[in-house]
Chain A
Amino acid sequence: EPEVTQTPSHQVTQMGQEVILRCVPISNHLYFYWYRQILGQKVEFLVSFYNNEISEKSEIFDDQFSVERPDGSNFTLKIRSTKLEDSAMYFCASSEWQGVYGYTFGSGTRLTVV
Chain B
Amino acid sequence: GESVGLHLPTLSVQEGDNSIINCAYSNSASDYFIWYKQESGKGPQFIIDIRSNMDKRQGQRVTVLLNKTVKHLSLQIAATQPGDSAVYFCAETSQGYQKVTFGTGTKLQVIP
Contacts and interface: CB of A to CB of B under 8 A. Distances in A.
B89 A100 contact: no
A56 B102 contact: no
Interface stretch (A38-46, A67-75, A80-88): A38-46
Contact of A56 (B41, B44, B99, B103): B99
A55 B98 CA distance: 8
A107 B43 CA distance: 4
Nearest to B43: A105
Contacts of B103: 42
Contacts of B63: none
Nearest to B97: A99
A98 B93 CA distance: 11
Interface string B65-99: 00000000000000000000000010101001111
Interface residues of A, number: 26
A58 interface: yes
A108 interface: yes
B44 A98 contact: no
Contacts of B100: 35, 45, 100, 103
B105 A42 contact: yes
Nearest to A44: B102
B104 A41 contact: yes
Given A103-B46, A108-B41, 6 more contacts: A31-B98, A35-B100, A42-B103, A44-B102, A91-B43, A100-B46
27 contacts: A4-B43, A33-B98, A33-B99, A41-B104, A42-B89, A42-B104, A43-B44, A43-B89, A48-B99, A58-B99, A91-B43, A91-B44, A98-B96, A98-B97, A98-B98, A99-B97, A100-B49, A100-B93, A100-B97, A101-B49, A103-B100, A105-B43, A106-B43, A107-B41, A107-B42, A108-B42, A108-B43
